[in-house]
Structure 1
Amino acid sequence: MPKVYNFGAGPAKMPEEVYEIIRNEFTNFEGSGISLLETSHRSSTYLKLNKEVQDVVRRLLNVPQNYKILFLAGGGQGQFAAVPLNLISRTGTADYVVTGAWSAKAAKEAKKYGKVNLVIPPTDRYVNIPDQSQWNLDPNASYVHICTNETIHGVEYDFIPDTKGVPLVADMSSNFMSKKVDVSKFGVIYGGAQKNIGTSGVALVIVREDLLNQTLPICPSILDWTINAKNDSILNTPPMFAIYIMGRVLQWIERQGGLDVMAELATKKSSLIYNIIEESNGFYCAPVAKNVRSKMNIPFRIGSIEGNDALEKEFLKGAEALGLIQLKGHRDVGGIRASTYNAVTLEEVQALANYMKDFYKKHSK
């Protein structure tokens, strides 16, 4: 079997070094003689880990002291409900900037709990982020919600929106910890861990303290940020192993040199693929506008912007034969998608780039 190069969009590749750490600690965590899987969440062993993971999040993102760091079950979609349940009570309305499938799902969920204003007109094709001069922001909104990187459509913000004092809430599930972010510009940042910072089962939430204590009465305690903050993310038995893995991945990022290094590598890796697309004379087609092309998720078609099913199937079959796996585009958009998260190495992306060149030479005549 050839070496496997995993370009999955999530659950995604994790650093090989982290796997080695997990193997070594799996049955004897921190010298306790037992696995973390069977350790009490009230034990000093887990309390120490809980603080360590919070601390590495705070160091990497330089999180101000007036923000709480929470580890919650339910993944990113759980937070689609938690955001309005915790924030919409102030005015009963919220702004949602829909730039792809995930922000659309978040807006749909929020409609259960209040009025949702779609800041930009709905569309069937997500290929751009309109200039803010075209946004219809409601000054009465309780918050403005964005998804900073759309995993399915490959649309990534290249700016932080100016929301005129209204709290900005960002789903960063698929570009968390890929670059530095000024946390102070956001009221809330959240995301599932399984794309770029760990495995499935836990959502990381960073919330400014003045936004607590606004929860709707119908909010379940498990989604209530205020209650979870008071309980230091140990209201009940948390997803301990997923939190542990996230912590080990974040410590790995720190050892690599931090978020500046991750951002530099993200640019190099994504540029390898985008350059081949641009130089293919239309053989490979990237639908997203250049200024908002994602550095994490790169969707493209073969033959035309609408794709050529036969060629794309052949591309995917040939890729798998070489160990280049999980390249099939999301079922909603089709085509091909390469996810180049932090754990995906430059050498692995180069292997995909070489295959793309060879496939182009063979089929472009």
Structure 2
Amino acid sequence: MTCYNFAAGPAMLPVEVIAQIKQDLPDYAHSGMSVMEISHRSALYKELYAETKANLLELMKLDQAEYDVLFLTGGATQQFTTIPLNLARKYHRIAVVDSGHWAQRAAEDAAKVPGLTVDIIASSKDNDYTAVPEIPTEFDQDYDYLHITTNNTIMGTAYRDDQIPKTDIPMVADMSSNFLGQEYDYSKFAVIYAGAQKNLAPAGLTVLVIRKDLLVKHDDLPGLFDFATEAKKESALNTPPVFQVYVAGLALKWLKEKGGVASIEAINQEKAKLLYDCLADSKNFESKVDPDSRSIMNVPFVSGDPDLDAEFVKEATAHQLLNLKGHRLVGGMRASIYNAMPLEGVQALCDFIKDFDAKH
């Protein structure tokens, strides 16, 4: 029986990437060293770093002359603090769109930066975060930037590209859970950041894509927190997460071979439609997310009966459909169907839902 991992993160990697990792573990590029042993100062790593950075910007259709890429540690959560330290320098005030838990966390952590004011300018709290709020384009205050979360892992909501306007102030996006899983006009954003453990690599790497005009050195910041310093040192001010960057490089090559972001989004849309249609037909389970705001990466669903939900998760696990338990904040179940999840995995889940319905 094939095993399918529906975890929200760390999530499954493409089988082709796993196979290449297995090959490179004992001897990377005929160097006699494991890929986990190569130095971040070596020509091997520098070549890997440059190729990974170039492939990422190519897939995002961004110009290397205008954007830079930082490969950082500390998780996307660290950027809730580091980004305002770097960007909130003129007005000391930022705007946040509250679309759920991680947007709230971003606002809460930013508010702890001394002298910084954080305004929640739109929220979907009134609908229990079952739909994304409209992003304002006119503001009563001067802001250093506007922060949004493009995909809400826990709530199962997401913005489409046509729901994201171009704004006069810099827009910062946390794309952790749908990074490179659906198309956006990435040039709308001044900064994009994402934890890699959903669509790109093992946990331990955070990717930050930033407009070069924002790379201004701040002498009052430690080097590890200063984006300009990190950029100048090519993300190697200290030892970078070499293995994670290597895996990200493989995942980007895999994505290019699949036809890029547009092609993988078409597959992701097909997977999501299959699962949402299955839930619509189910007599036990439902998605509570507004159809116009549904994520194609994370699909929460509930029965309304915690005991039945627990039984579902238990039986699904026995059928090698793993990590379907929902987040503690919303309960129920959650199927995360990132880029690496094959259509066959979603079909297996739908078949199981139908069989479970027949027995319950």
Q: TM-score range by the shorter chain?
A: over 0.9
Q: Judge conservation of contact 1:90–1:214 (CA < 8 Å) in 2.
A: no
Q: How does 1:183-202 map to 2 (within 5 A)?
A: 183-202=186-205
Residue in structure 2 matched with residue 116 of structure 1 by the alignment: 118
Aligned AA (1:185): K
> Which of the residues 320, 339, 345 maps onto 2:336?
339
Task: Tell me the CA shift for residue 326 of structure 1.
Answer: 0.3
SS at match of 1:3: coil
Q: How does 1:213-232 map to 2 (within 5 A)?
A: 213=216, 215=218, 217=220, 219-232=221-234
Give TM-score scaled by structure 2 length: 0.95
SS at match of 1:175: coil
Q: How does 1:87-126 map to 2 (within 5 A)?
A: 87-113=87-113, 114-121=116-123, 123=125, 125-126=128-129
2: CA distance between counterparts of 1:356 and 1:10? 22
Matched, 1:35 2:37: no
> Which of the residues 168, 176, 179 maps onto 2:179?
176
Q: Judge conservation of contact 2:134–2:163 (CA < 8 Å) in 1.
A: no
Residue in structure 2 matched with residue 70 of structure 1 by the alignment: 70
Residue in structure 2 matched with residue 322 of structure 1 by the alignment: 319
1: CA distance between counterparts of 2:247 and 2:99? 30
Q: For residues 303-350 of structure 1, give each alpha carbon's deviation from its aligned partner in whole angstroms, at most 9, with x where no partner exists.
A: xxxx20111111111101110000000111111000000000000110
Q: Judge conservation of contact 1:89–1:215 (CA < 8 Å) in 2.
A: no
Residue in structure 2 matched with residue 207 of structure 1 by the alignment: 210
2: CA distance between counterparts of 1:197 and 1:234? 20
Gaps of 5+ in 2: none
Q: Name the stretch that deviates more: 200-209 or 32-41.
A: 32-41
Q: Judge conservation of contact 1:87–1:142 (CA < 8 Å) in 2.
A: yes
1: CA distance between counterparts of 2:328 and 2:56? 33
2: CA distance between counterparts of 1:162 and 1:12? 30
Residue in structure 2 matched with residue 276 of structure 1 by the alignment: 278
Q: Judge conservation of contact 2:26–2:35 (CA < 8 Å) in 1.
A: yes
Residue in structure 1 matched with residue 299 of structure 2 by the alignment: 298
1: CA distance between counterparts of 2:180 and 2:186? 12
SS at match of 2:95: strand
Give TM-score scaled by structure 1 length: 0.93
Aligned AA (2:281): E
Matched, 1:128 2:139: no
Residue in structure 2 matched with residue 349 of structure 1 by the alignment: 346
Q: For residues 134-180 of structure 1, give each alpha carbon's deviation from its aligned partner in whole angstroms, at most 9, with x where no partner exists.
A: x8744401000001001111110023533531000000001011122
Q: Which runs of 4+ in 1 moved over 6 A?
A: none
SS at match of 1:94: strand
SS at match of 1:251: helix
C-alpha root-mean-square deviation of aligned residues, in Å? 1.6
Residue in structure 2 matched with residue 310 of structure 1 by the alignment: 307
Q: Judge conservation of contact 2:300–2:332 (CA < 8 Å) in 1.
A: yes
2: CA distance between counterparts of 1:27 and 1:310? 47
2: CA distance between counterparts of 1:68 and 1:353? 41
Q: Judge conservation of contact 2:96–2:119 (CA < 8 Å) in 1.
A: yes
SS at match of 2:210: strand
Q: Judge conservation of contact 2:166–2:188 (CA < 8 Å) in 1.
A: no
Residue in structure 1 matched with residue 355 of structure 2 by the alignment: 358
1: CA distance between counterparts of 2:103 and 2:233? 29
Q: How does 1:214-253 map to 2 (within 5 A)?
A: 215=218, 217=220, 219-253=221-255
Task: Tell me the CA shift for residue 244 of structure 1.
Answer: 0.6
2: CA distance between counterparts of 1:237 and 1:138? 43
SS at match of 1:38: coil
2: CA distance between counterparts of 1:334 and 1:275? 21
SS at match of 2:122: coil
